[in-house]
Structure 1
Amino acid sequence: MAPRPGQNMSELPLDINLRDPRWDQTTFMGRAKHFFAITNPLNLLLSEEKLQNAQTIVENYRAGILTPGLTEDDLWKAKYNYDSAFHPDTGEKIHLIGRMSAQVPMNMIISGCMLTFYRNISAVVFWQWVNQSFNAVVNYSNRSGDATITHAQLVTAYVSATTGAMVTAVGLKALTKHLPVLVSRFIPFTSVAAANCINIPLMRQREMLLGIPVTDDLGHRLGYSSKAAQLGIFQVVTSRISMAIPAMTIPPLIMNVLEKKDFLKQRPSLLGPLQVGMVGFCLLFATPLCCAFFPQRSSISVNWLEPELRAQIKKQNPSTKVVYFNKGL
C-alpha cells in the first residue's frame, strides 16, 4: 500500500484488517488464540478509561486516523479490549456479566455450586434459576446481528429455559434417587444441556424470524437470512454444551473418589471450594477451546440461503458463492 502524502514510512500502515481476528480463522489453533483473547477473565478488570481509549483507537484507525506512536501490537491489543466489551454488530457496550470474559468466573461459581449442592432439592432449583438468569443475560448480550428483541420474547425465553432446566433437574433427581450417588452427580450437566437447547434458540428467536445480516468477503451487507441465523444458533448451542462437559463431568468423578478419603471427611468445608476450583480450571480451557469449534465470522453457501435472497445475491453479485455472518457467542 502506498503511503499517504506526508505519512512517515515508519508509521503503522492503514490497511490492517480489523474486521477479522488477528489469527487465521481457517485453523482451529488460530480460532483458539482468538477466543483465549476474547474470553480472558482479566478483561473484566479493564477500566472505563481503558475501554474508551480502546474504542477511540479502533474507530480512529477505521476512519484512517493514526494515533501517534501506535504500533501494530498496540492496535490489536486495543481491538481485543474493544471487542471484549462492545457488541460487534450494534456497537453497544455489553453489561459486565454478559461479556464473554465473565464466562469463566461466573460459570465457575454457578456450576461449582450446582455440583456441590446437588443433593438438596431446594438448592437444585435455586442454582438452576441462577444459572438460567445468567445465561439469559449472556445469550441476549452476545446475540448475532442488530435485530431487537421484545420484552415479551425475553420473558418467554427466560421463563421457558428456567422452567425447562428446573423440571429436568427435579425430574431426573426423582428418577435417580435409588441409583448410585455418582449418577446423581451428573444431573446438573443434563439440566444445563437441556436448558441451553431451550434458552439460546428462544432468546434469539427474532434472528430466526427476521434473519441476521449476511455480507460478502469485504463486509458489504447483502441482506438478511434466517438460514444463517439457524446455522449460527446451532453452532452456539453445540459450543455451549461442549464447554460444559469437562467442567460438569470431570469434577464429579474426582469428587466421588475424594469424598471417600478421610482427609475430606474430616474437613467437609473444603468440598465446595475444591469443586469450584476444579470447575474453574476446566472452564479456563474449555471455554475458549469449545468456542473455537466454529469461526466467530461464520460462513454459509449462497445455495443454502432462502430462494429470494439467493436470487438477489446471484443477480447483484453473481461471483459470490459464500456469504459471511456473525454467529454470536
Structure 2
Amino acid sequence: MPSTLWLKPRNVSPNDVDEPLWDQKTFMGRLHHFFWVTDWRTVPTSNSRLFEAKQFIEDYKSGKISENYDQAKIRYEKKLKESAFHPDSGELQNNIGRMSFQVPGGMVITGGMLQYYRSTGAVILWQWINQSFNALVNYTNRNAASPITTTQMTIAYASATSAAVLIAVGLKGRLARTVSSPVLQRFVPWCAVAAANLVNIPFTRQRELVDGVMMSTEDGEEIAKSRFAAAKGISQVVAARITMASPGMLLLPFIMERLEKRPWFMRYPRGHIVFQTLVVGAFLTVMTPIGCAIFPQKCSVSMETLKFVEKDVYQSIKKNHPDKSISHLYFNKGL
C-alpha cells in the first residue's frame, strides 16, 4: 500500500503516552487513529482486562515499566484504554455507548430500519430503538466537563425520539399517497435518522450550549468557557454522525431494489435482513472512522473569531491573561 495511505504509528515514550499515535492535524492521521480506536474487535474485552490496560499505561507513564518495553504491547494496551475510557473524565464508558460499538450496534439497528419500513408499527419500533441507542452514545461521548441532569437527558431523549417517529411516519404516509416508486419509500429511515440527529445531539449536550465548554491553550492551561465553541463542536458532531450513517442507508435502497427483482434472491426472504445488516456493517466499519476523522477531536477557536462572536469572552480573556499571546484556544468536541 502506498506510504501516503498507510502511515506507521510512532513509538510511544512515557512522556507522550497519552498523545495519539498519528498526527491529528491531518485527515489521514486522524483516520488512522479512529480506525485504531473504534475497532469493534475490542468490544468483547472484559472490564477487568480494560482496567488492567489502563493500569499498564499509568505504570508505563510513571516509569514503573521500562521505556524499552515491547512497543507493540504498549500500543495495544493504549488501544484498549482509549477504546473504553472517556478522554476527559477517565471513567470507564458503558459498553454500548462506546464508539467501538458503533459497528455491531449500528448495523443491527440500521438493518432493521431498512428492512421493516413498510409497517407503521415497525417504523415506530425501530426509530425508538435507534434513538435510544443514539441517546446513550451521545451521553457517553459528550464533553464530560459539562454535566447533564436526568431531567435534561429525559427531555433530550423524548424530543429526539418523537422527532424521529413523527418524521418517519409522516414521510411514510405522504410518500405512500403521492409517490408510486417503492425505492423512494426506502429513504424514509435515513430522513428520520438525519433529522433526529439534529435534535438528539444538541438536546443531550444542552448544558454545553448554555454554560459553554472550557477552552485551553495548546499545552492544556484552562482559559475560559465559550458557548460558541460548544455550538461549533456540537454542529461538527452532528455532521459527522449523519456522514457515518448516510452511505449505507442511501445506497442500500438501490441495491435492494435491484436484488428483489432477482428470483434467486426472492427465494430466501428471511435472508434479506441478514444481507442488509451485513452490508450496513461493512459500510459502518469504514464510515465510523471516516466520520470521526472529518473534524479534529481537539477543536480550535481563534481569538479573532471570539472577538466578533463572543466579545464578552474575548474581553475577559484579554483582561485575565494580559501577559499571554494567544491566537487559538482548544477544546474536546466530543464524538
- TM-score, with length taken from structure 2: 0.90
Moved more, 258-267 or 73-82: 73-82
In the other structure, the counterpart of 2:3 is none
Give the superposition deviation at 1:13. 4.4
**How do 1:92-103 and structure 2 match up within 5 A?**
92-103=91-102
Establish whether residue 66 from structure 1 lines up as the match of residue 64 from structure 2.
yes
Tell me the secondary structure at the aligned position of residue 90 of structure 2. Answer: coil
Give the superposition deviation at 1:307. 2.7
Give the superposition deviation at 1:72. 3.7
In the other structure, the counterpart of 1:318 is 324
Conserved in 1, the CA contact under 8 Å of 2:17 and 2:57? no
Give the superposition deviation at 1:302. 2.1
Separation in 2 of the partners of 1:61 and 1:150?
36
Give the superposition deviation at 1:299. 1.1
Stretches of structure 1 that go unaligned for 5 or more consecutive residues are 1-11
Identical-pair percentage:
43
Conserved in 1, the CA contact under 8 Å of 2:53 and 2:80? yes
Separation in 1 of the partners of 2:202 and 2:69?
41
Separation in 2 of the partners of 1:307 and 1:72?
47
Give the superposition deviation at 1:190. 0.3
In the other structure, the counterpart of 1:280 is 281
Residues 219/174 of structure 1: CA separation in 2 closer, same or farther (3 Å cut): same
**How do 1:151-162 and structure 2 match up within 5 A?**
151-162=150-161
Separation in 1 of the partners of 2:269 and 2:69?
53
**How do 1:82-231 and structure 2 match up within 5 A?**
82-178=81-177, 179=179, 180-231=181-232
Residues matched between the structures, number: 317
- 1:183-240 per-residue CA deviation (whole Å, 9 max, x = no partner) reads 0000000000000000000000001111112111111211222111110000000000
Separation in 2 of the partners of 1:75 and 1:312?
42
Establish whether residue 15 from structure 1 lines up as the match of residue 15 from structure 2.
yes
Tell me the secondary structure at the aligned position of residue 28 of structure 2. Answer: helix
- 1:116-160 per-residue CA deviation (whole Å, 9 max, x = no partner) reads 000011000000000000000000000014221111101100000
**How do 1:27-42 and structure 2 match up within 5 A?**
27-42=26-41
Stretches of structure 2 that go unaligned for 5 or more consecutive residues are 1-11
Give the superposition deviation at 1:314. 3.2
Q: Please report the RMSD computed on the Cα atoms of aligned residues, expressed in angstroms.
A: 1.7
Conserved in 2, the CA contact under 8 Å of 1:117 and 1:124? yes
Give the superposition deviation at 1:17. 5.3
Residues 304/72 of structure 1: CA separation in 2 closer, same or farther (3 Å cut): farther
Residues 145/312 of structure 1: CA separation in 2 closer, same or farther (3 Å cut): farther
Conserved in 2, the CA contact under 8 Å of 1:207 and 1:229? yes
- 1:58-101 per-residue CA deviation (whole Å, 9 max, x = no partner) reads 33344x32324634443332222111111111111111000000
Give the superposition deviation at 1:53. 1.7
Tell me the secondary structure at the aligned position of residue 300 of structure 2. Answer: strand
Establish whether residue 54 from structure 1 lines up as the match of residue 58 from structure 2.
no
Which amino acid in the other structure matches residue 64 of structure 2?
Answer: L
Separation in 2 of the partners of 1:263 and 1:40?
35
Which amino acid in the other structure matches residue 207 of structure 1?
Answer: E
Conserved in 1, the CA contact under 8 Å of 2:160 and 2:197? yes
Separation in 2 of the partners of 1:157 and 1:50?
33
Separation in 2 of the partners of 1:182 and 1:143?
36
